Structure 1
Amino acid sequence: MWFKQLHLYRLHGTPAVTAAQLAEAMANHAAKPLGNADARRIGWAAPAGRLGGGQLVHELQGHRLLSALRQERMLPAAVVKEEVDEQVADIEAREGRKVTRKEKTALKEQVTEALLPRAFVRQQKIDMWWDTERQLIGVNAPSRARAEDVLDLLRETLGSLKATPLSSQTLPIRAMTTWLGDPASRPADLQLLDGVELKAKGDDGVVRARQVDLDSDEMQQLLESGRQASKMALGIEGQLTFMLHDDLSLKSLRFGDALIEEADHADDGDDALARLETDFVLMAGSLRANVARLVEWLGGENRQEPAPKEGSNV
């Protein structure tokens, strides 16, 4: 249940919707098996699986847990190309002419359509944390693109949703560079750990360092050469550790031992569903508090609402 990465979004003017209303709307967009002609599909799934009796929304102490199931047929481009090349060669040998580019495009579409039903299906479950009190959403996705897929599903489910990536007054890359270069600038509870990625302003590439002393002379020399910290391993003392990225996403999340121990000692009566909900509410409470602290250290939140797009309801 514990999230490993987090892409954060601020909601703007979201209409009030109860957990029951949300679950009813989500049921209309529930995950279904891929059809033979479907390349990919995303729909809602029960966070607890069969253990939760198909429950799509878990709401506890102002936090909601939702899960999306993304399905995609894995059809390697090389397989399609090989089949198309064989058919092109057969046509050219049989008819004594060159196959045109337009014909090749049509052949590629036909081959893809024919091979899709036999392609391996990869499934990916993506969990979402929705803090209804602070109107914040966090998606446990490996990439921003995957997080956006889940947000698009939520938009379709609700009819409209104004959500923008969480942003701070001070850019993370600027704050991380300052913290790295000036120990006195670091908040009292902030810990610099042993990993960093430094980008140059020009085309000098990226320097990645693991298990290094971030206060070493070598690090300072790299900063003096004009490099900036685009990723940095950080910790909030006793609470959690993570890799902060320059888009304010958090990767490699690890929660503090005290929180994990509290979850382990919770009286859930060996009920797997109760265990999931206990883990979630403890994790969500920690995320609510520590995301707020991190944003404060970054100069506070930039709450500028998105400009309305013509013909768009998002």
Structure 2
Amino acid sequence: MWFKHLHLYRLHASTAIPAADLEAALAEQAARQPGGSEARRLGWCPPAGRAGTALLHELQGQRLMTVLRQERLLPAGVVREEVEERASDIEAREGRKLRRQEKQEIKEQVYEELLPRAFIRRQKVDLWWDTRRDLIAINSSSRKRAEEALDLLRETLGSLKVTPLATQTLPMRAMTHWLSDDQARPADLLLGDQVELKAKGDDGVLRARQVDLDSDEIQQLLAAGRQASRMALEREGQLSFVLHDDLALKSLRFSDALIDEAGEIEDDGDAILRLEADFMLMTQALADLIERLIEWLDGEAQHSTTQGVA
């Protein structure tokens, strides 16, 4: 139970929903096997996996839920080969070339026939709801997958007013400033060893790993007009991460001290206790980081509109 990547969202005009009511709503949208004609299905599953049955874990206002994404894998090449074979048989039998519309109809028929026999890929996406701060964070490297999880939560609750977390100062501007001026860096923020620099023109993107970000080479690139679109950072004693220009936090790595602290908590071999202990320590560190991140970026931006209102 240690998140790897986070996309952050702000809840607007949120109304507190009791944990019991929320869990009942989650049960209405619980994960189940996709039907034969379904290419994809999302539903809620126990965060503890086989160790538990609860769809919701809540501790001190911190809620943990897990989306199970099931998708049937039907390679396009397999469909294409079957369509070509059937089309060739018809053309040979009838002595004519099939029209595009006829081939499209064959493709749809092949897809419908093969889909129920396709393998199913399962992926889990954890959702953390901080009810104290009206924040939702989704543990996924993909913004698209995060939005899918939000869509499921919206469907589960009936409505959800939410926007991606945004700050007064854009992350790209702040990262570029921190990189070019060491005096501008927050006292509790350390630079890591990787960066992505974007050019204003058509010179593309430059990615550097395991480099000294204070080196002359990096400073020369900044002087030439490049800006930092992602950068490895560390909050000393807590965790390291890569900040992206959309405020996503990726490649999260929690400090050894924090992991050791979690390991010292007695769980008597109970997987649920272990999950909840890790979750509480992790969310405390992440909540502190998010609050500091907003401060580093000169406060949260105000939104005049919201997205995802059902």
Length-normalised TM-score, structure 1: 0.97
Instruction: For 1:228 and 1:313, locate their aligned partners in 2 and report how far apart those are by CA, in whole Å.
Output: 34
Three-state SS of the structure 1 residue aligned to 2:183 is: helix
What is the CA distance between 1:313 and its match in structure 2? Answer: 3.4
Q: Is the 8 A contact 2:43 2:69 kept in 1?
A: yes
Q: Is the 8 A contact 2:198 2:205 kept in 1?
A: yes
Instruction: For 1:73 and 1:48, locate their aligned partners in 2 and report how far apart those are by CA, in whole Å.
Output: 24
The number of residue pairs the alignment matches comes to 310
- Residue of structure 2 in register with 1:279 after alignment: 278
- Residue of structure 1 in register with 2:45 after alignment: 45
| Letter matched to residue 10 of structure 2 | R
Q: For residues 91-102 of structure 1, what are the structure 2 equivalents within 5 Å?
A: 91-102=90-101
| Letter matched to residue 282 of structure 1 | L
Instruction: For 2:180 and 2:284, locate their aligned partners in 1 and report how far apart those are by CA, in whole Å.
Output: 32
- Residue of structure 1 in register with 2:287 after alignment: 288
Spell out structure 1 runs of 4+ moving beyond 2 A.
305-308
Instruction: For 2:257 and 2:49, locate their aligned partners in 1 and report how far apart those are by CA, in whole Å.
Output: 28
Q: What do the CA deviations read for 1:101-139 (whole angstroms, capped 9, x no partner)? A: 111111111111111112111000100110000000000
Instruction: For 1:164 and 1:24, locate their aligned partners in 2 and report how far apart those are by CA, in whole Å.
Output: 25
What is the CA distance between 1:194 and its match in structure 2? Answer: 0.3
Three-state SS of the structure 2 residue aligned to 1:89 is: helix
Instruction: For 1:42 and 1:193, locate their aligned partners in 2 and report how far apart those are by CA, in whole Å.
Output: 36
What is the CA distance between 1:256 and its match in structure 2? Answer: 1.5
The yes-or-no answer on 1:117 pairing with 2:113 is no
Instruction: For 1:256 and 1:303, locate their aligned partners in 2 and report how far apart those are by CA, in whole Å.
Output: 33
What is the CA distance between 1:298 and its match in structure 2? Answer: 0.8
Give the direction of change, closer, same or farther, for the CA distance of 1:189–1:313 in structure 2 (3 Å limit).
Answer: closer
Q: What do the CA deviations read for 1:182-204 (whole angstroms, capped 9, x no partner)? A: 11110001111100000111111
What is the CA distance between 1:307 and its match in structure 2? Answer: 4.7
Once the two structures are aligned, what percentage of the paired residues are identical?
64
Q: For residues 36-185 of structure 1, what are the structure 2 equivalents within 5 Å?
A: 36-52=36-52, 54-185=53-184
Instruction: For 1:76 and 1:97, locate their aligned partners in 2 and report how far apart those are by CA, in whole Å.
Output: 29
| Letter matched to residue 175 of structure 1 | A
Q: Is the 8 A contact 1:74 1:119 kept in 2?
A: yes
What is the CA distance between 1:305 and its match in structure 2? Answer: 4.4
What is the CA distance between 1:51 and its match in structure 2? Answer: 1.6
- Residue of structure 2 in register with 1:313 after alignment: 309
Length-normalised TM-score, structure 2: 0.98
Instruction: For 2:18 and 2:51, locate their aligned partners in 1 and report how far apart those are by CA, in whole Å.
Output: 23
Q: Over aligned residues, Cα RMSD in angstroms?
A: 1.1
- Residue of structure 2 in register with 1:187 after alignment: 186
Structure 1 portions without partners, runs of 5+: none
Instruction: For 1:26 and 1:64, locate their aligned partners in 2 and report how far apart those are by CA, in whole Å.
Output: 13
What is the CA distance between 1:50 and its match in structure 2? Answer: 2.8
- Residue of structure 1 in register with 2:233 after alignment: 234
Q: What do the CA deviations read for 1:21-73 (whole angstroms, capped 9, x no partner)? A: 00001100000011111100000001012322x10110001100000000001
Q: Is the 8 A contact 2:161 2:306 kept in 1?
A: no
Structure 2 portions without partners, runs of 5+: none
Three-state SS of the structure 2 residue aligned to 1:150 is: helix
Instruction: For 2:258 and 2:60, locate their aligned partners in 1 and report how far apart those are by CA, in whole Å.
Output: 17
Deviates more, 1:272-281 or 1:295-304: 295-304
Q: Is the 8 A contact 2:163 2:306 kept in 1?
A: no
Q: What do the CA deviations read for 1:251-310 (whole angstroms, capped 9, x no partner)? A: 1001122211110000111211100000001111111111110111011111314257xx
- Residue of structure 2 in register with 1:15 after alignment: 15
Three-state SS of the structure 1 residue aligned to 2:30 is: coil
Q: Is the 8 A contact 2:7 2:140 kept in 1?
A: yes
Three-state SS of the structure 2 residue aligned to 1:38 is: coil
| Letter matched to residue 309 of structure 2 | N
| Letter matched to residue 231 of structure 2 | M
Instruction: For 2:304 and 2:278, locate their aligned partners in 1 and report how far apart those are by CA, in whole Å.
Output: 33
| Letter matched to residue 15 of structure 1 | T
